[in-house]
Amino acid sequence: MTDPEVLVIGAGPAGLTAATYLGRFRRDTLVVDGGEPRASWIPVSHNMPGFPAGISGADILKRMREQAREYGAVVTAGRVAELAKEGQGFVARIDGRSVRARAVLLATGVVDRHPDLKGVERAVQRSLVRICPICDGYEATDKAVAVIGHSDKGAREAAFMRTYSDRVALIHIGPPEALTRQAALQRLGVEVILAPLDAVVLEKERVTALTWGGQTRAFDLVYSALGASPNAELARGLGARLSDDGRLEVDLHQATSVPGLYAAGDVVRGLNQIAVATAEAAVAATDIHNRLRRMDGQTLPD
């Protein structure tokens, strides 16, 4: 592993898009990835621009990796355990080795919180339990939908699902006092069930029912709306500014509060969407290139 000019941490849609742009700006770019980008969980995406028939997450990532490599980016497996400032650049510990870079892009994504029920993670991967109404709410049109939620975040997702169906139930698994919007939800026509869930009943290719307190109820589709934790520890270690929900704060060019450290994709505030991740990555890569040009005296004087 030789030292690149730019280190990109994370090979999901954000990291790979940045690598393509940086490669085309003729920057030596290393992308390291700890495995299982969130995008790899997408069975079929129907809102990916340019793919009207849909495309799987695995195919999106394969195409993006090919494109990044076409322009010289090195994409490799590895986990960045530490990131520190060194002069104007950075030094990263990757699987026991030190790698230096002049700029770093964090494209580290988030980790979803799932209900603590056997088999749920597998059910999300198979799209039996869904986690992203903006991605696939359209496919829930006129279906009986359950939203598993905790606090008002679950309430907001259940309310959003009324865009698609008039049969929406919020199953609130937190303490009842954490749900402050119960009356407003009921006015919107959302059924509210306050109960800890016991099981998700899976039958072949679909979730057939949810059970709680001895009751079993069938739904066509189940959403889990328990939120996600941003992978922002490396930035936190550098003292970068984070927002209240733990995501990275960035400026209009995707620069964090640490000079030379950029961020794009789900780890940054905003919609967790591929189109957003790729747009942010394009902005970040362009600013990284311009920053390095300025540092090297390759720009016109103001």
Ligand X SMILES: Cc1cc2nc3c(=O)[nH]c(=O)nc-3n(C[C@H](O)[C@H](O)[C@H](O)COP(=O)(O)OP(=O)(O)OC[C@H]3O[C@@H](n4cnc5c(N)ncnc54)[C@H](O)[C@@H]3O)c2cc1C
Contact 230, 72 (CB under 8 A): no
Task: Indicate the residue among 77 and 188 with the shorter CB distance to ligand X.
Answer: 77
Task: Indicate the residue among 185 and 221 with the shorter CB distance to ligand X.
Answer: 221
Task: Indicate the residue among 99 and 192 with the shorter CB distance to ligand X.
Answer: 99
Task: Indicate the residue among 21 and 41 with the shorter CB distance to ligand X.
Answer: 41
The least CB distance from residue 130 to ligand X, in Å, is 7
Q: What is the layout of strands, in order, in the sheet containing 261-263?
A: 74-77, 29-33, 6-9, 103-106, 261-263
Q: Which residues bind ligand X (CB under 6 A)?
A: 9-15, 32-39, 41-42, 45, 47-48, 79-80, 107-109, 124, 131-132, 135-136, 231, 234, 265-266, 272-275, 277
Task: Indicate the residue among 4 and 179 with the shorter CB distance to ligand X.
Answer: 4
Task: Indicate the residue among 194 and 270 with the shorter CB distance to ligand X.
Answer: 270
Q: DSSP for the chain? A: -PPPSEEEE--SHHHHHHHHHHHHTT--EEEEE-S--GGGG-S-BS-STT-TT-B-HHHHHHHHHHHHHHTT-EEEE--EEEEEEETTEEEEEETTEEEEESEEEE---EEE---S-TTHHHHHHTTSEE--HHHHGGGGTTS-EEEEE-HHHHHHHHHHHTTT-S-EEEEE-S-GGG---HHHHHHTTEEEEE----EEEEETTEEEEEEETTEEEE-SEEEEE--EEE--HHHHHTT--B-TTSPBP--TTSB-SSTTEEE-STTBSS---HHHHHHHHHHHHHHHHHHHHHHTT-S---
The least CB distance from residue 90 to ligand X, in Å, is 13
The least CB distance from residue 180 to ligand X, in Å, is 27
The least CB distance from residue 194 to ligand X, in Å, is 27
Contact 22, 289 (CB under 8 A): yes
The least CB distance from residue 1 to ligand X, in Å, is 13
The least CB distance from residue 192 to ligand X, in Å, is 25
The least CB distance from residue 223 to ligand X, in Å, is 11
Task: Indicate the residue among 68 and 185 with the shorter CB distance to ligand X.
Answer: 68
